[in-house]
Chains A and B, each alone.
Chain A
Amino acid sequence: MMEIGLSHFLVVSTIVFLAGMFCVLTRRNAIGILMGVELILNSANLNYLAFARYSSVGYDGQMFAIFVIMLAAAEAAIGLAIVLGIYQTFHTIDVEATDTLRL
């Protein structure tokens, strides 16, 4: 069996990224879009850790990944609060219904 190397992890993270991007592009549901963003952040983290392990950059990748997780937590809290606010105002979370600012 082939030895597992850097490119294996990169392929997995590429697929996860593309799935997240598809999620963001096609969902009209605001929470679905947020979940796609979580997937994208996860794939970025996987890349950080893979390079931290297999290349000569040391543990910097792990530190970056921690900060990414921290920002993702803040983003999810604020994002979901905004989604709930949109739901209270528009009684839907379809992102195409929230066009009050559009001319």
Chain B
Amino acid sequence: MTEISLFPIVFYLLAAVTVVSALGVAFSNNIFYSAIALMGALLGTAGLYVMLAADFLAVVQIFVYVGGILVLTLFAINLTSRIGDVSISNRSIGRLPSLLMLGLVGTVMVRAVLGGGWNLVDVPEAEPTIATIGNGFLTDYILPFELASLVLLAALVGAVVLSRKELKEERG
């Protein structure tokens, strides 16, 4: 058994990138650095998706999160210019109470993770998931799929309405 598997190495690498970036998002004092760290966390998660044989999800993650949401966030950071002030990004309830609360929640979660008792199966060979997901969208998940388009339309109109109002106020 001298064969060195690449899987654990890549996993620990991606996990380290994800965890370090997530902690960077949480603890950075500069909101801009937080956003950059968020990119690392999202990319690391996309890599973990690939390791979980979810190739389509990984691509969607990169397109939607890194290409869409993150760019939107950076725009918002740049448009709200005073966001760089340290006084704005300081703590609301303080680190100690929130760490206490995190400790409570974390204890429960770690107990749940270590508790186990899941109905595990042997991991099947990784294969492309796009066909399965496409079939699912048009059969089992047709109702959520159509509702999703309505939600996206509502979000589109809502975002336009919210931004229009500001323009009018500025002019008048």
Residues of chain A at the chain B interface (Cβ within 8 Å): 1-4, 6-12, 14-23, 25-29, 31-32, 34-36, 38-39, 42, 45-46, 49-56, 59, 62-63, 65-67, 69-74, 76-78, 80-85, 87-88, 91-96
Contact = CB atoms under 8 A, between A and B. Distances in A.
A87 B157 CA distance: 20
B26 A20 contact: yes
A95 B80 contact: no
B101 A76 contact: no
21 contacts: A6-B120, A16-B22, A17-B109, A23-B25, A23-B26, A31-B31, A31-B80, A39-B26, A39-B41, A42-B45, A46-B48, A49-B48, A53-B54, A63-B141, A71-B151, A76-B72, A76-B73, A83-B80, A85-B165, A88-B166, A92-B88
A35 B76 contact: no
B45 A21 contact: no
A70 B34 contact: no
Given A55-B120, A81-B162, 12 more contacts: A7-B113, A14-B109, A25-B98, A31-B76, A50-B52, A69-B57, A72-B64, A74-B154, A84-B163, A85-B163, A93-B88, A94-B88
Contacts of B113: 7, 10-11, 14
**5 closest A-B pairs by CB:** A74-B155, A19-B22, A81-B162, A25-B98, A19-B26
Instruction: Describe B's contact surface by its main secondary structure.
Output: helix
- Among A12, A28, A82, A95, the one with the most B-chain Cβ atoms within 10 Å of its Cβ is A12
- Among B22, B75, B105, B163, the one with the most A-chain Cβ atoms within 10 Å of its Cβ is B22
Nearest to B4: A1
A40 B154 CA distance: 23
Interface range on chain B: under 10, 10 to 19, 20 to 34, or 35 or more?
Answer: 35 or more
B8 A66 contact: no
A54 B170 CA distance: 54
B90 interface: yes
A81 to B, nearest CB: 4
Interface string B71-109: 011011101101100001111111100110110011001
B52 A9 contact: yes
A59 to B, nearest CB: 5
Given A26-B94, A73-B64, A19 B25 contact: yes
B119 A12 contact: no
